[in-house]
Amino acid sequence: MVEITFRIKRQDPADKKNPEFHWEEYKVPFEGNLTVLEALFYIQEHYDGALCFRYCCRASICGSCAMYINGAYRLACQTNIKHLDIVHDAVPVVSVSPMPHVPLVKDLVVDMDDFFAKYEYIEPWLIRNSADPEKEIAQSPKDRKNLDMPIDCILCGCCYSSCPSVWGEENYLGPAALLKAYRFEVDSRDEARKERLPLFDNERGVYRCHTIMNCQEACPKELSPTEGIQWLKKAAVRRRLFGRLK
C-alpha cells in the first residue's frame, strides 16, 4: 500500500520548553479518496493526540479547515490527495501548515479574532430605512444575480491570509470583510446611503487594495473579492467626485 508522508508544521507558542515551530513527518496509508482532513484525523488518532486543527462539515461549506497545503491555500476537507499529483512521486509528500500571516493559536489553528472583528466593523447586515412590506421585498432575478458571487463566501480566511496589503497594514479590513460590504451594497433590498460607505471609504478600506489578486487565486470557492472591492472603490470615488451616493 502506498504511504503518503505528511509534513506538518507544528508549534505551541505556550510551550515554554519549545515555543518555536518545527516540522514533523507522519506516514499515512493512502486509499481511495483520502482527503487532507482525513489524514489529519488519522495522525491525531494514531500518532499524536495533541495535533490541533479546525474541522466541522467535511464538505467544504463551513470554512473551518482552511490551511496552506503544498504551496496553496486550500480547505483540508476538499483536498483529495489524488488531485495533488504527488501519488506517483518516489516519496509522495504533502506539506501542511497553518494559514500564514495570521496569529497562531497552536499547530494548524490560527487566531481569527481580527478577521471577525473586521467583518463586524463593516456592518455586515442588510440596512433598511423604510418599513418592511407584509410579504417579501421584491427583487428581480437580475438584481438577485448580483449577489451570486459574494454570498458564496464561507469566511474561511484564505483571501485574508493571502493578501500582501493585509500583511503590510494590520488595520486594513482585507478582502473578506470588503467582499461582505460589497454583498450588501449591491443588494437591491439594501437601503444604506451613508451608513456603510464611510466604513470602507477610508484609510482602512478599499484604497489599500492594489489589485494583486492573490485573494482571487486563494479562494477555495473561486470567488473574486477583488471584483467586489473595485466596485466599492468606484462607488467611493464617485461619491468623492460627484457627491453621489450609489
5 forms bridges with which residues in the sheet? 27, 93
Least Cβ distance, residue 168 to other proteins (angstroms): 26
Nearer to other proteins, 63 or 175 (CB): 63
Nearer to other proteins, 117 or 212 (CB): 117
Instruction: Find the part of the chain contacting other proteins (CB under 8 A) among 1-9, 93-101, 122-130, 194-202.
Output: 122-130
Q: Is 171 helix (H, G, I), strand (E, B) or coil?
A: coil
Nearer to other proteins, 4 or 155 (CB): 155
Number of chain residues interacting with other proteins (CB under 8 A): 58
Residues 192-221 that bind other proteins (CB under 8 A): none
Phi and psi dihedrals of 75, rounded to 5? -85, 125
First-residue to last-residue Cα distance in the chain: 60
Binding mask 26-65 for other proteins (x = CB under 8 A): ------xx----------xx---xxxxxxxxxxxxxxxx-
Residues 61-100 that bind other proteins (CB under 8 A): 61-64, 78, 80
In the numeric block, the cell 476537507 is attached to 77
Binder among 71, 132, 203, 244 for other proteins (CB under 8 A): 132
- The sign one gets for the Cα dihedral 170, 173, 177, 178 is negative
CA geometry: angle at 157 spanning 153 and 160, to 5°?
110
CA dihedral 220, 125, 209, 117 (to 10 degrees): -80
Binder among 12, 114, 169, 191 for other proteins (CB under 8 A): 12
C-beta contacts of 129-136 below 8 A and 24+ residues apart: 129/191, 129/193, 130/191
Which residues are CB-neighbours of 39 under 8 A, at least 6 positions away?
4, 6, 28, 81, 94
Q: Which residues bind other proteins (CB under 8 A)?
A: 12, 14, 32-33, 44-45, 49-64, 78, 80, 105-107, 109, 111-112, 116, 119-120, 123-126, 128, 132, 134-141, 143-144, 147, 151-152, 154-155, 184, 187, 189-190
